[in-house]
Chain A
Amino acid sequence: MKNDRQRTFLLITIPILALFVCFNTIPLIRGVVYSFTNFRGFGKYDWVGFRNYIDLFSDARVGKSYWFTIKLAVVTTIVVNVISLLLALGLNSKIRAKGFFRGAYFLPNILGSLVVGYIFNYFFTYIIPALADMTGIKALSSSILSSPGKAWIGVMIVCAWQAIAMNTIIYISGLQTVPEDVYEAGGLDGATGWKQFKMLTFPLIIPFFSINMVLSVKNFLMVFDQIMALTKGGPAQSTESISYLIYNNGMSGGQFGFQSANAVVFFIVIVAISVAQMKFSSSKEEQL
């Protein structure tokens, strides 16, 4: 019996793992090989040893993009998770027109990035400054996307606006695993509102909380579409994310080898961050 179980698990794992290795690990290794060359993406190339890696650490533009990306990821993750958790609780409570609300809040995620980019550009460039002029708020009277110091906030807002839907869905499906009788038992003890959430609901959805945290951090660290749609890295290269740099200079530009090295380092950085995150949250899970 026990053997059957183990054999089944192995029979499931091995072929799927093989598929994964074939189309993820092997291409990744090929990519790593390119990071030791000055390959432009076509034609002949030379081996350059660790030159790309050495360059990477002395490249101010790369450094700047790391700072921007990490700042964006941290802030957006917090904003998104607070809002989507609240939203999930709201959408999961007994309200009217639940289906409609859930559908509506899902919309931002499916609007194509051209649409999102256009609308938010318009919003930041024309509407916000006009509103600021009317109300006399000086700080907002020029587009935040045109200021190197503030443009990241614009990117943050759009990322959050789009990502909330997805995180909310995951929280809602998490809330579904919390059986009603837990609340009934809690309700008798007088646990309501915040206390109920903290004592009963939240501990039960911690796996979903950690999934959302990991996914958010990962998604925002790898932010690309929103940058393309909104700022294309500007103004003054202040919103160049790492993925943007890797794609733009590696694929569109002729720096494939160098940006492969960047991608390798970036990969290691995100894995490190995420493993730390998962370790942290699984230790939390065990505590509860």
Chain B
Amino acid sequence: MKHTSTVGKSNKAVMVLLILGLSTIIFPLYMTIVIAFKQPSEMTNSISGILSLPKNWSLDNFREAMEVTDFWRSLGNSLLISVTTIVLAIAIHSLMGYALGRNKAHSKFYNFVYLFIVSGMFVPFAILMMPLAKQTAELHIANWFGVILLYVVFYMPMNIMLYSGYLVNIPIALEEAARVDGASTWRTYWSIIFPVMRPMHATVAVITALAVWNDVMTPLIIMAGSGQNTLPLAQLNFQSQFGTNYNLAFASYLLSLIPILIFYAICQKQILNGVTNGAVK
């Protein structure tokens, strides 16, 4: 390869830029970690005070944060809701994205359905809150199941957009070959299209997981009073108008960051490995 030398050079420049950019992330992260280990009495308004290392690296804040949030139970609820939502999102949204993506260019009906659902993304949540609180109660699903159902509906517009966008680059010829072999559309989808969309599944999984993992509002209005907490709901305990225990809160946020980071690490490999060269276009 005659371009090797220039490629090597530009990569070094890219590295330098990436490392520089990283400082905008390392610094806040450093602050988060330091504060998570400090005691309230170590908090000051001076810069040297806030950037200094904690007096001792005790895990007490983490222990207390876990106690206050009833960590394992809340984590369990959060995991249950997130994992189910992701699985359903990938199954349902990819199917719908496929049905709409393949037809919207030539069918008025599918194009309308596509735009109808995508426009659902723009409905301000505040207007839905009251009616949804009422509706879920009427249907007796004012619990975690209702929350999952709502998530599947809330993230449908965005995910369908992503899936049908991805389909543009997947040639229809791939399906036609299978069709010639006599496979039904349903089967062709699961055996050919679904696997090819793997990078998109991973992307959707990450995006949906993030939105669900940090969401407070939906569980707050749907599950309130049910005695069940998700992690973000439990974390609300750290803040009130008249006083916030930042040290405990930060410790708790660091803890709840770990599962989603692991999940992301797994998914991002999928985003990378998905499309084999030449399979597309």
Contact = CB atoms under 8 A, between A and B. Distances in A.
Direct contact of A and B (CB under 8 A): yes
A102 B25 CA distance: 12
Interface in A260-288: 260, 263-264, 266-267, 270-271, 274-275, 278, 285
Contact of A218 (B31, B121, B256, B280): B121
B132 A179 contact: no
Nearest to B156: A20
Interface residues of B, number: 106
Interface string A84-114: 0001001101111001011111111111111
Contacts of B189: 8
Nearest to A274: B122
B32 A119 contact: yes
A9 B99 contact: yes
Q: For the complex, would chain B's binding face be called helix, strand, loop or mixed by DSSP majority?
A: helix
B124 A246 contact: yes
Nearest to B184: A4
B120 interface: yes
A187 B4 CA distance: 11
B271 A172 contact: yes
A204 B239 CA distance: 47
B232 interface: yes
Nearest to A29: B131
B18 A177 contact: no
Contact of A267 (B100, B113, B127, B168): B127
B96 A16 contact: yes
20 contacts: A4-B184, A8-B184, A8-B189, A16-B96, A17-B116, A27-B128, A30-B131, A95-B15, A96-B15, A106-B268, A111-B257, A122-B31, A179-B278, A181-B278, A207-B165, A222-B122, A246-B127, A250-B127, A263-B124, A271-B122
Given A24-B120, A130-B47, A101 B18 contact: yes
A27 B131 contact: yes
Interface string B209-220: 010011000000
B73 to A, nearest CB: 19
Given A9-B99, A95-B14, A126-B45, A110 B131 contact: no
Contact of B113 (A17, A218, A266): A17
A19 B156 CA distance: 10
Interface string B166-189: 101100000000010000111001
Interface of A: 1, 4-5, 8-9, 12-13, 16-17, 19-20, 22-28, 30-32, 34, 41, 87, 90-91, 93-96, 99, 101-116, 118-120, 122-123, 126-127, 130, 161, 166, 169-170, 172-173, 176-177, 179-182, 187, 192-193, 204, 207-208, 210-211, 214-215, 218, 222, 242-243, 246-247, 250-251, 256, 259-260, 263-264, 266-267, 270-271, 274-275, 278, 285
Top 4 closest A-B pairs, CB basis?
A27-B131, A263-B127, A30-B131, A31-B127
Given A12-B96, A23-B149, A102 B126 contact: no
B92 to A, nearest CB: 6
Given A16-B156, A110-B210, 8 more contacts: A20-B153, A28-B123, A96-B15, A104-B22, A111-B28, A169-B271, A192-B6, A259-B126
B25 A20 contact: no
A166 B207 contact: yes
A108 B25 contact: yes
Contact of B168 (A23, A161, A207): A207
B135 A27 contact: yes
Nearest to B151: A23
A114 B119 contact: no
A112 B239 contact: no
B61 to A, nearest CB: 14
A16 B256 contact: no
B122 A218 contact: yes
B153 A222 contact: no
Contacts of B7: 94
Contact of A17 (B117, B184, B265): B117
Nearest to A260: B127
A114 B240 CA distance: 12
Contacts of B75: none
Interface stretch (B52-60, B63-71, B76-84, B195-203): B195-203
B253 interface: yes
Interface string B241-262: 0001010011001001100110
Interface in B92-127: 92, 95-96, 98-100, 102-103, 110, 113, 115-127
